[in-house]
Structure 1
Amino acid sequence: MREIFLVEDDQAIREVLEVFLSSENYSVKTFGNVEEFKSRDTDITPDLYLFDVMLPDGSGIELCQEIRSNQDNDGVPIIIMSAHAKLSELSNLCKPDDFISKPFDIDNLLSRIDRIIK
């Protein structure tokens, strides 16, 4: 089973994504903020990172930079989600494998995740 690490501060979005992705046979580990994410078991490397940009104690961009700088994560794709930022604003800071604008269509999100992971 493919594993996704999701960092999203909006509890409703986090729960919907967890339920939906779990129903599509993904194992989903969720984090509500940067601190929770940094407290994770770093011995586990997921198949995909899914980060919101604006978090209460940091940003998904910073997490993206951190993941990209760690060789243990080589080849692990990152998708960034944001209601405010645009991919062109992020590309100099971090190069995600995909960018999803919020609000998003859940079926579109799933097809993009499937394409990147498989």
Structure 2
Amino acid sequence: MAKTILVIDDDEDILEILNIVFQDSGYEVILSRVGLETEFINVLHPDIVLLDVRIVGSPKTGADICKDLKADARTKHVPVILFSAEHDLHTMATACEADSYIAKPFGIDSLLMQVQKQLS
């Protein structure tokens, strides 16, 4: 059974590219251009969540969503990878208890390796 990746980013181009890359790698992919509440993410049952830090038009940042996921007993086990061009990404990822982070721009191979590492 294929693992499910939830990708949340407001950039349609990034979502389209990641959708193709992850599907070609055998993953099921769920895409969202807006931040999602923990309750909704729990219903989706992703195996991993990739979150952009800045999500234009969403009331919460990716770091806020990550913090909510890690604070909820139903979703705290789900690996979260933050990705962003923010200069203090490491600090943000640590503060929200993200499992990993990757700086934009990122290489597709590096991202795939991070995802595989978190899913293993």
Find the counterpart in structure 2 of residue 90 from structure 1. 92
Q: Distance in 1 between matches of 2:48 and 2:109?
A: 17
CA offset digits 1:78-97 (Å, max 9, x no partner): 00001124233314530111
Aligned-residue sequence identity (percent) comes to 27
The two structures have a TM-score, normalised by structure 1, of: 0.89
Query: Deviation at 1:16?
Result: 0.2
Q: Distance in 1 between matches of 2:18 and 2:6?
A: 11
Which deviates further from its counterpart, 102-111 or 77-86?
77-86
Is it true that 1:48 corresponds to 2:63 in the alignment? no
| Letter of the 2:98 counterpart | P
1:92-111 maps to which residues of 2 (within 5 A)?
93-111=95-113
Name the count of aligned residue pairs: 116
Query: Deviation at 1:74?
Result: 3.0
2:74 aligned counterpart, secondary structure: helix
Is it true that 1:18 corresponds to 2:11 in the alignment? no
Find the counterpart in structure 1 of residue 63 from structure 2. 61
Find the counterpart in structure 2 of residue 80 from structure 1. 82
1:16 aligned counterpart, secondary structure: helix
Moved over 6 A (4+): none
- Label 1:53 to 1:107 Cα distance change in 2 as closer, same or farther (>3 A): same
**Greater strand percent: which structure?**
1
Which deviates further from its counterpart, 90-99 or 39-48?
39-48
- Label 1:49 to 1:24 Cα distance change in 2 as closer, same or farther (>3 A): same
